[in-house]
Amino acid sequence: MRMSLIALVAGLLLGLGLAISGMFDPAKVLGFLDIAAIASGGWDPSLAFVMAGGLAVTLPAFQVARRWSQPVAAEKFHTPSAAGIDAKLITGALLFGIGWGLVGYCPGPAVAALAFGATGTIVFALAMAAGMLLHGAFATRR
């Protein structure tokens, strides 16, 4: 119960942040990724400020948590496995980046923007879910 409530509040905060920062707007994201526009004066560096604003909170929070033996409302920290920098990581990040640049959605903004019901958003989100399931099918086969 408590876990569900915390998860919902965190999701709400994230949705608010994605909207206020403008990240839920593909035009804004593409305006950042378009570095050729630096020369022509049309580049929008806003996304770097989103990143900086986020890290200004998470950097101290994650460093403080290092000294905690467990989280406030759960048994343990689910620390990601440190597999090292391998081909999977780089290939995955590259495919993700290419897809991100084609449309301007990464997973969070795509889910958040579902609130406004645009066909393009729904199609993207369904394709994204399909891509995830496809990966799941590949991963279990091996």
Partner 1 sequence: MSPDFTPVSAAIGGGLIGLAAALLWLALGRIAGISGILGQAIGAATSGAERLWRILFLLGLPLGAWLAVQLGLAGLPSAPPTNLALAVIGGLLVGFGTRLGSGCTSGHGICGLARLSPRSLAATIVFMAGGMASVFVLRHLIGG
Contact assessment for residue 14 and residue 108, using Cβ atoms and an 8 Å cutoff: yes
102 binds partner 1 (CB under 8 A): yes
Smallest separation, CB 76 to partner 1 (Å): 6
**Residue of the chain from 67, 94, 141, 142 that contacts partner 1 (CB under 8 A):** 94
Contact assessment for residue 130 and residue 42, using Cβ atoms and an 8 Å cutoff: no
According to CB under 8 A, which residues from 22 to 61 bind partner 1?
22-28, 30-31, 33-37, 41-47, 49-59, 61
**Residue of the chain from 67, 116, 141, 142 that contacts partner 1 (CB under 8 A):** 116
Let me know the angle formed at the C-alpha of 133 by 79 and 76, rounded to the nearest 5 degrees: 15
Tokens 């998860």 locate to: 7
CA distance 75 to 49: 34
Which amino acid belongs to residue 2?
R
67 binds partner 1 (CB under 8 A): no
Smallest separation, CB 36 to partner 1 (Å): 5
Nearest to 61 by CA among 74, 45, 72: 72
142 binds partner 1 (CB under 8 A): no
**Residue of the chain from 67, 88, 141, 142 that contacts partner 1 (CB under 8 A):** 88
